Amino acid sequence: MSTTPIDKKTEGVVLPGWLVVVLRIIVIIGLPLALTLLTARALMTPLYMQWEYNRPNFPSDPFGFTKEDRLHYGPLAQEYLFSDAGLEFLSEQALTDGTPLYNERELSHMDDVKGVVQGLTRFGLGLVIVMAIAVVLLAISSRTRPELYAALRAGSILTVVLIIAGLIAATTAFEWLFTQFHGLFFEGSTWLFPTSDTLIRLFPEQFWLDAFVLMFGGVLIEALIMGGVMWWLLTGRRRSPTQQRP
């Protein structure tokens, strides 16, 4: 039996079975990471700081920083992390009385944080590119498109499971989660500071708790929407009549 010209257009490129399996694995495993990194990056903006510092129940600084001080100094720290500026960008910042804003230990930590943030940014960009290639390769053929839908649905389910666990940890065992998170990227106690230090005054524990909850909650919503759309596409395809070939 021959294939009609319309069928040829819809069938597209035929991928070997092993490659389809590899691409599906990339999509399934990569989806939780990609959604988490993209959502985290979306939160690392002055817009989040504006919202967080203006919340009525956000803890005040017992050592004297006003909301305006935090709105001034906080975005500068964030700007340093995503710019090419050297450590002098932070070391030259001072309070109104001329006192350096950060001590040497804080500056060393911020240098470490910048390396981690920019490393994760490069990793995230590479992951998104690899996933985009996998999605395109699976999507260009009508034969493998259901495999893409199934992989995205499976990745969404995996994301939901992981995020629910993360939300439970963030709301019931935040200290443990925060410690484990820093233990992945920093040595020893280099990330621990007195409450009188600038980094704690600008970014108290509540700042990070809210960020974790928003990040996990955002990823959860994204995964639920994507999983629902993929489920609809798969069930809709099974219900549609198949094309007949002469």
229-240 mean pLDDT? 79
Q: What is the pLDDT of residue 5?
A: 45
Q: What is the pLDDT of residue 237?
A: 60
Q: Which domain holds residue 83?
A: 22-237
Residue 246 lies in a domain: no
What percent of the chain has a predicted confidence (pLDDT) above 70? 91
Q: Provide the domain count of the chain.
A: 1
Q: What would the pLDDT profile of 8-56 be if each residue is shown by its tens digit?
A: 554 556 788 899 999 999 999 999 999 999 999 999 988 999 999 999 9
Q: What is the mean pLDDT of the chain?
A: 88
Is pLDDT at 235 greater than 90 in this prediction?
A: no
Residue 44 lies in a domain: yes
Q: What would the pLDDT profile of 45-102 be if each residue is shown by its tens digit?
A: 889 999 999 999 999 999 999 999 999 999 999 999 999 999 999 999 999 888 999 9
Residue 53 lies in a domain: yes
Q: What is the pLDDT of residue 188?
A: 73
Residue 1 lies in a domain: no
Confidence class of residue 198 from pLDDT cuts 50, 70 and 90? Answer: very high
Phi, psi at 94, each rounded to 5°: -140, 160
Residue 3 lies in a domain: no
Confidence class of residue 3 from pLDDT cuts 50, 70 and 90? Answer: very low
